[in-house]
Amino acid sequence: MDFPDELSLLSLFECEPELLDNVVPFYYNTATYKFGNMCNEKFIINISPSYSDIKIQVYTFDNILISSLDFERVSSVIILSDKRNESYILIKTECASIEIHFKQRFTIILKYFGSH
């Protein structure tokens, strides 16, 4: 899987991850990032690089679930923008590409290719 390194994710999410196991290297670990944006949306992102899995949960400021995305067998994650007022990534799987915006506001753009 083509995946951003730990420092790139730290910059993108602007927070330190909580690691499942502090003695396991990042690539083989599960990292959880918790952060918010200017629209009072809260994110919980679980990343397991060695399993090629990403889970993204988005909540309103009063903890109402907006979206829960669970990606397995991700082929790549690309940071498309990492700016103060704009951040988003592109997740590629076998049958889709998903652009996910964290700032300024949570947005999903899905392109589905169908199963192979």
Q: Write the pLDDT tens digit of every residue in 49-99.
A: 999 999 999 999 999 999 999 999 999 999 999 999 999 999 999 999 999
The conformational region for residue 14 under phi > 0 = left, psi -120 to 50 = alpha, else beta, is left
Q: Binning pLDDT at 50, 70 and 90, where does residue 115 land?
A: low
The three-class DSSP label of residue 10 is helix
Q: Is 68 inside a domain boundary?
A: yes
User: What pLDDT, on a 0 to 100 scale, did the predictor assign at position 69?
Assistant: 98
pLDDT digits (tens, 9 = 90+) for 2-49: 899 999 999 999 999 999 999 999 999 999 999 999 999 999 999 999
Q: Is 1 inside a domain boundary?
A: no
Domain count, the chain: 1
- In angstroms, the CA 104 to CA 36 distance is 10
User: What pLDDT, on a 0 to 100 scale, did the predictor assign at position 116?
Assistant: 56
- In angstroms, the CA 64 to CA 58 distance is 8
- In angstroms, the CA 8 to CA 14 distance is 10
User: What pLDDT, on a 0 to 100 scale, did the predictor assign at position 2?
Assistant: 87
Residues in the chain: 116
Expressed as residue numbers, the domain containing 98 is: 6-112
- What pTM was computed for the model? 0.92
